[in-house]
Amino acid sequence: MIYLRISLPYGKGSKDLEISEERIEGLLYSRTHEYKSQKSESEIVRDALRNPIGSESLEILSKGKKKIVIISSDHTRPVPSHVIMPEVLATIRKANSDAEITILVATGAHRASTDEELRDKYGDEIVDNVRIVMHDSKNEADMADLGTLPSGGSLMINRTAVEADLLIAEGFIEPHFFAGFSGGRKSILPGIASYKTVLANHCAEFIDSRYARTGILENNPLHIDMLYAAEKSNLKFIINVVIDQDKKVIAAFAGDREKAHYEGCRFLKGLAGAEGKKADVVVTTNGGYPLDQNIYQSVKGMTAAEASINDGGIIIMASECSDGHGGEEFYKTFKDGASPEKIMKDILERERNETVPDQWESQVLARLLMKHEIVMVTDAPKQMIEDMHMHYAKSMEEAFSIAEELLGRDDYRVTVIPDGVSVIVE
């Protein structure tokens, strides 16, 4: 019998999965991990800035502007800002050395980044010499009222961005489990939006839509709201990158907030699409650090398994979760919930203006748990995992023992998705 050893990203390291070749139904990878550029990461970004899509160059846009704000993803996203930001800053300063530049960290509904996380992300030189503002979605005094979203929700955006003479955004494009893809307009909503605006956009009706799925933009109700928010915020220019499994830049797309983003999404879809291989057990991850810091974020990787599993199958999720659950309301929803079915019923009965914190993540996890048992291989506390209606395992071997017991047989097949957040299962 031939055994395969498959490396699964886990925190800043990995876990090995040893499994017999004859048991494997499918091994789903994104081809971003195979894509090679002849240029360095900085050269890729520089070339994108010099050849914008559907827009004037950043140099032209920067001339004569006094307040320039650069929206930047926070510590929960593996955006290689240490590569992107120096190129963006150099481009702006070459055209306008007198500009007041502010980096606005798009925390969305997350906690603020620490000084250590900022230095790890940007490097000491940028942290010490560029004004960095941390978005706080719950500080209403920091928000500007831009009217109403197409969905009917209030559109409140960080005042620092709204008052800019030039608003640009850096970020990365990856498959997203309900927005279709990350990047582009997501820098605005949820990135720098009021928490109330995020709640309205992430309502139960929208998350329940069949168009609110990985890799889908057309007719996606969340995406429609996000596009509107970006337009009303006057997001003028973006620089978005695509990264490989080592979090290295393999492509970059700069220019118009929609045209450049769509071009990047098309490029990624061509590499990330993988034909689903239905199995009784699906092993997946959240791609390692920083995306697997908590259970909240790990739901994303679980949805890749959802798209490639038989009815009643078992999801094995390997995610370090060094920060625990990642959302108090998210955790309490399951700890206090009688069952996934009851949790889902309560969520679906809420109107848009009744959306509660972390509801969207709870809704997706409840959807998964209604159909599948989930075994977490994690460093999070065992009680926390069990409180959230999942099974705890301290190793891959233990996870498979639990899965076999749950299935009640040993003749099961396995599909492995080593990086669940990088794949669009078709």
Write the CB contacts of 27 (distance below 8 Å, at least 6 apart in sequence).
6, 415, 416, 418
328-335 vs 359-369: helix crossing angle, rounded to 10: 40
Alpha helical stretches, state H, 105-158:
115-122, 124-129
Residues in CB range of 177: below 8 A, 6 or more apart:
213, 214, 299, 300, 303, 364
Q: Which one, of 46, 17, 18, lies nearest residue 241 by Cα?
A: 46
Q: In the chain, what's the furthest Cα-to-Cα distance?
A: 70
Residue 403 φ/ψ region, left for φ over 0, alpha for ψ in the -120 to 50 degree band, beta for the rest:
alpha
Helices 328-335, 295-306: axis angle to 10 degrees equals 60
| Residue 104 near residue 72, CB atoms below 8 Å | yes
Contacts of 134 (CB under 8 A, 6+ apart): 105, 107, 112, 113
Q: Is the dihedral of CA 301, 303, 307, 311 positive or negative?
A: positive
Cβ atoms of 297 and 76 within 8 Å: the answer is: yes
Q: Which residues pair with 157 in a beta bridge?
A: 144, 193
Active site residues: 110, 176
Query: Tokens in use for 353?
Result: 């203006």
Residues counted in the chain: 426
| CA dist., res. 11 & res. 1, Å (int) | 31
How far is 391 from 371, CA to CA, in rounded Å?
15
